[in-house]
Amino acid sequence: MDDPGGSFVAVRRISQGEVGAGSAAWLGKGLSCVCVQGSENDARPSFDLSAAQEHCLQRLQYRIDVSYDSSLPEHKETLRALWTVAFPKENLRDLISEQWKEMGWQGKDPSTDFRGGGYISLENLLYFARNFPKSFQALLRKQEGDRALWEYPFAVAGVNITCMLIQILDLEAVKPRTFVGATFLKFLEENESAFDLLYCIAFKLMDQQWLSMRASYMDFNVGFSIQRCLL
């Protein structure tokens, strides 16, 4: 099935700490209990992790820590792959090109927009494009709903969603300090693509909320909150 939007309820419940075994079906079977440890120096609790969960978190944190580097062939090829999947009938003239604005980058060099989200934000976009091509194209080309004349920039919004998910799930902490983060790590243990899949769902949810708010490009420019749409 090509529609990650069928799991909107899952991402909403994840963000509110309300996930149960039924709503977690999009990533795996059930949830196990987690132990909570308080800290005198931090009002937030921390959650004990299994060895497998700790390993999965470290692998994901490694991805998060990788900056986009335009000098690395692998990074350049990933960027080219994104263009090819997004616009299969249009050849990319160069990695620095005005063509990138068609995808919703701020300028002709997408690498400048990856500074906030890092390489993982590019990986997220490519995962979405490859695994849910119909949904990706519908969002890229703004094919669904009653659209404003001036829309949010697709690619820049995608980078922002990566950043917001990292923040919401508290993924840069040594241990999760919220039930939301601890719940997500259970999913991640069962499916190593959990973050990428959640990203696709979040993008669909953000677009749905954008339409319901009848927002326009000016709203995005003056501080449209991606996080507000996801919570």
Assess contact for 28 and 190: CB atoms under 8 A. yes
Q: 147-180, pLDDT tens digit by residue?
A: 655 678 899 989 989 988 998 898 988 888 888 8
Percent of the chain having pLDDT more than 90?
Answer: 39
Strand partners, 36: 47
Rounded CA-CA distance 137/203 in Å is 12
Please name the residue that has the structure tokens 């601890």: 182
If you write DSSP's letter for every residue of 45-83 in order, what string do you get?
EEE---HHHHHHHHHHHHHHHPPP-TT-HHHHHHHHHHH
pTM of the model as a whole: 0.77
Residue type, 169: L
Instruction: Between 153 and 2, name the one with better pLDDT.
Output: 153
Q: 81-90, pLDDT tens digit by residue?
A: 999 999 999 9
H helix runs in the chain, sequence order? 8-16, 51-65, 73-86, 118-131, 133-140, 154-168, 179-190, 194-212, 217-221, 226-230
Rounded CA-CA distance 42/83 in Å is 44
Instruction: Between 9 and 101, name the one with better pLDDT.
Output: 101
Assess contact for 83 and 95: CB atoms under 8 A. no
Which residues, including other chains, have CB under 8 Å from residue 114's CB and lie 6 or more apart?
67, 68, 121, 122, 159
Q: What is the pLDDT of residue 28?
A: 32
Rounded CA-CA distance 138/10 in Å is 21
Please state the domain extents for the chain.
4-230
